[in-house]
């Protein structure tokens, strides 16, 4: 054997982990039984945050270069799905903490001040590495989000803001998608024509529907005109840029087109893994929003409308972050522009062939 025998407790460094629960209530002579649960729960969350960061860093690494090997996409999808699975487990674990009553929490809450989950640097790293931007964050007592972190933690959080986030890297990768044109087939032009045909058909269906009154027709046509406006904004790069400037959209125009191609033609073998990758990002963002909501409920249950130990408005602040701190919203909103499979432009034989499995990474490099 080339390596010395391992011993369970040493390998897992259990001496460190199991001696790291030091309730402050006992330290200050007022032992509160439930503080142990409070500490354990936070520590378990933080260890899982570490695992999430490990997965996110490895996926970011795969997307850093100018070329992403197709083989990595499958691995990236598995790792991102793992992140989402961990998130589900964490959301479920709030239940354990809720076996502590609000009154039991009050026994030791004062000893925590002014520490707060707001100072969890790993949580900030997860947000920043996924792609949450400083300017998109809610104001926290009119101070930047990292003001309450130690200097060392501020440096870590700020470095993660400068490095390309998963959002940036996936956006660049989408912008490089080579499948938007095949010979005479131009995806964007064909898709636009298909949308126009579909909307024309919708208008005719409303106008010719004998069961609708004139008033109902006017109402349905006005709804249809809103859909038409939505699509018109999609087909105008200028309009798209305006939306990006206003903060209503974030994903670049080129990346949006590629993401739509992937969503619409996901049944094509070569686009299936990219589709699963975009779906995994949606899943992670959704789980993060669900985590925020679940945490906000726990907070309301424990402290009602009291301010947090970190000084925020507590439940009210946390509830606002659910919407304000979403990252991959553009990928959710792609569904607005999906059209039924039956209305999709048919791919020419050449494109069908190229999107088949034989289109390997070697041919992409050329
Ligand atoms: C009794 C249970 C809990 C209470 C009463 C509570 C309370 C709060 C409050 C009030 C805030 C807002 C900042 C502040 O003013 O302090 C906050 C933020 C936070 N808490 Fe908790 N928390 C609890 C459990 C947890 C657990 C188990 C975790 C897991 C690590 C956690 C992680 C966080 C994080 C990451 C933030 C920052 C959220 C953001 O700014 O978006 N909290 N918590």
Q: What is the mean pLDDT of residues 99-114?
A: 96
CB of residue 126 inside a 6 A radius of ligand 1: no
Q: What is the mean pLDDT of residues 218-234?
A: 93
Q: What percent of the chain has pLDDT over 90?
A: 82
286, pLDDT greater than 50:
yes
CB atoms within 10 A of CB 260: 20
Residues 6 or more apart in contact with residue 309 via CB below 8 angstroms: 109, 112, 113, 114, 115, 116
CB of residue 302 inside a 6 A radius of ligand 1: yes
Distance between CA atoms of residues 107 and 105, nearest Å: 5
CB of residue 41 inside a 6 A radius of ligand 1: yes
358, pLDDT greater than 70:
no
Residues 6 or more apart in contact with residue 86 via CB below 8 angstroms: 48, 51, 52
Q: What is the mean pLDDT of residues 47-67?
A: 96
Q: pLDDT-derived band of residue 347, with 50, 70 and 90 as boundaries? A: confident
Q: Where are the beta strands (DSSP E) in the chain?
A: 181-182, 185-186
Distance between CA atoms of residues 306 and 299, nearest Å: 9
**Domains of the chain and CATH, by start:** 8-175+267-328 (1.20.58.480)
Q: What is the per-residue pLDDT for 244?
A: 94
Q: By alpha-carbon position, which residue is closest to atom 22 of ligand 1?
A: 299
The ligand 1 atom nearest the CA atom of 105: 1
CB of residue 288 inside a 6 A radius of ligand 1: no
Which one of 46, 117, 123, 298 would you pick to mutate in the ligand 1 pocket, going by the greatest count of ligand atoms within 8 A of its CB? 117
Which one of 96, 295, 305, 311 would you pick to mutate in the ligand 1 pocket, going by the greatest count of ligand atoms within 8 A of its CB? 295
For residue range 292-344, what is the model confidence (pLDDT) as tens digits?
999 999 999 999 999 888 888 889 999 999 999 999 999 999 999 999 988 89
Q: What is the per-residue pLDDT for 142?
A: 76
Distance between CA atoms of residues 143 and 138, nearest Å: 10
Q: Quick check: 36 and 326 in contact, CB under 8 A? A: no
- Is the pLDDT higher at 63 or at 366? 63
Distance between CA atoms of residues 240 and 232, nearest Å: 10
Q: By alpha-carbon position, which residue is closest to atom 37 of ligand 1?
A: 118
Q: Which range (55-59, 124-128, 278-282, 347-351) has the least confidence?
A: 347-351
Q: Quick check: 317 and 138 in contact, CB under 8 A? A: yes
Q: Quick check: 242 and 173 in contact, CB under 8 A? A: no
Q: What is the mean pLDDT of residues 154-169?
A: 98
DSSP 8-state symbol, 117: G
The ligand 1 atom nearest the CA atom of 314: 10
Determine the distance separating the centroid of ligand 1 and the alpha carbon of 185, expressed in angstroms.
Answer: 52
What's the residue count for the chain?
366
Residues 6 or more apart in contact with residue 92 via CB below 8 angstroms: none
Q: What is the mean pLDDT of residues 67-91?
A: 95
Q: What is the per-residue pLDDT for 134?
A: 96
Distance between CA atoms of residues 57 and 54, nearest Å: 5
Residues 6 or more apart in contact with residue 74 via CB below 8 angstroms: 273
Determine the distance separating the centroid of ligand 1 and the alpha carbon of 48, expressed in angstroms.
Answer: 16
Q: How far is CA 240 from the centre of its chain?
A: 21
Distance between CA atoms of residues 350 and 10, nearest Å: 59
90, pLDDT greater than 80:
yes
Q: Quick check: 280 and 84 in contact, CB under 8 A? A: yes
Q: Which two tokens stand for residue 365?
A: 């490099």
For residue range 243-267, what is the model confidence (pLDDT) as tens digits?
999 999 999 999 999 999 999 999 9
Q: What is the mean pLDDT of residues 357-364?
A: 48
Q: By alpha-carbon position, which residue is closest to atom 23 of ligand 1?
A: 299
- Among residues 118, 135, 142, the alpha carbon closest in space to that of 310 is found at 118
- Among residues 284, 235, 288, 220, the alpha carbon closest in space to that of 55 is found at 284
The ligand 1 atom nearest the CA atom of 310: 16
Q: What is the per-residue pLDDT for 313?
A: 82
CB of residue 52 inside a 6 A radius of ligand 1: no
Query: Residue 276 phi/psi, 5° resolution?
Result: -70, -30
Determine the distance separating the centroid of ligand 1 and the alpha carbon of 78, expressed in angstroms.
Answer: 29
Distance between CA atoms of residues 133 and 326, nearest Å: 10
Residues 6 or more apart in contact with residue 292 via CB below 8 angstroms: 318, 321, 322, 325
Q: pLDDT-derived band of residue 181, with 50, 70 and 90 as boundaries? A: confident
Q: By alpha-carbon position, which residue is closest to atom 6 of ligand 1?
A: 299
pTM of the model: 0.93
365, pLDDT greater than 60:
no
Q: What is the per-residue pLDDT for 185?
A: 85
357, pLDDT greater than 60:
no
349 CB-contact burial (10 Å; exposed 0-12 / middle 13-18 / buried 19+): exposed
CB of residue 42 inside a 6 A radius of ligand 1: yes
For residue range 199-212, what is the model confidence (pLDDT) as tens digits?
999 999 999 999 99
The phi-psi region of residue 311 (left if phi > 0; otherwise alpha if psi is between -120 and 50; otherwise beta) is left
Q: pLDDT-derived band of residue 360, with 50, 70 and 90 as boundaries? A: very low
Q: What is the dihedral of CA 15, 18, 24, 30, to 10 degrees?
A: -110
């Amino acid at each position: 054997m080339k390596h010395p025998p391992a011993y369970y407790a040493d390998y897992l460094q259990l001496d460190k982990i199991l001696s790291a629960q030091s309730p402050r209530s006992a330290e200050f002579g007022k032992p509160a039984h439930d503080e142990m649960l409070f500490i354990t729960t936070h520590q378990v969350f933080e260890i899982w945050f570490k695992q999430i960061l490990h997965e996110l860093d490895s996926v970011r690494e795969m997307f850093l270069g100018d070329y992403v090997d197709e083989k990595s996409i499958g691995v990236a999808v598995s790792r991102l799905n793992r992140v989402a699975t961990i998130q589900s487990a964490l959301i479920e674990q709030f239940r354990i903490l809720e076996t502590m009553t609000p009154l039991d929490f009050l026994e030791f809450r004062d000893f925590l001040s002014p520490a707060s989950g707001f100072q969890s640097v790993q949580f900030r790293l997860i947000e920043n590495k996924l792609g949450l931007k400083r300017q998109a964050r809610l104001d926290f007592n009119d101070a930047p989000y990292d003001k309450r972190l130690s200097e060392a933690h501020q440096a870590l959080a700020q470095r993660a803001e400068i490095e390309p986030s998963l959002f940036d890297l996936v956006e660049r990768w989408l912008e490089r998608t080579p499948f938007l044109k095949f010979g005479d087939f131009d995806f964007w032009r064909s898709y636009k024509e298909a949308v126009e045909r579909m909307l024309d058909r919708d208008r005719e269906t409303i106008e010719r529907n004998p069961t609708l009154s004139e008033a109902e027709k006017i109402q349905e046509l006005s709804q249809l005109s809103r859909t038409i406006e939505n699509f018109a904004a999609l087909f105008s790069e200028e309009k798209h840029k305006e939306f990006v400037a206003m903060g209503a959209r974030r994903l670049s125009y080129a990346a949006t087109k590629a993401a739509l191609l992937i969503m619409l033609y996901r049944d094509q073998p070569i686009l299936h893994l990219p589709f699963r990758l975009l779906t995994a990002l949606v899943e992670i963002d959704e789980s993060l929003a669900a985590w925020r909501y679940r945490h906000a409920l726990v907070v309301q249950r424990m402290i009602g409308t009291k301010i947090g130990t970190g000084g925020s408005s507590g439940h009210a602040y946390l509830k606002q972050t659910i919407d304000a701190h979403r990252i991959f919203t553009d990928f959710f909103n792609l569904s607005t522009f999906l059209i039924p499979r039956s209305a999709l432009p048919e791919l020419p034989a050449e494109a069908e062939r190229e999107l088949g499995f034989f289109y390997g990474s070697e041919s992409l490099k050329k």
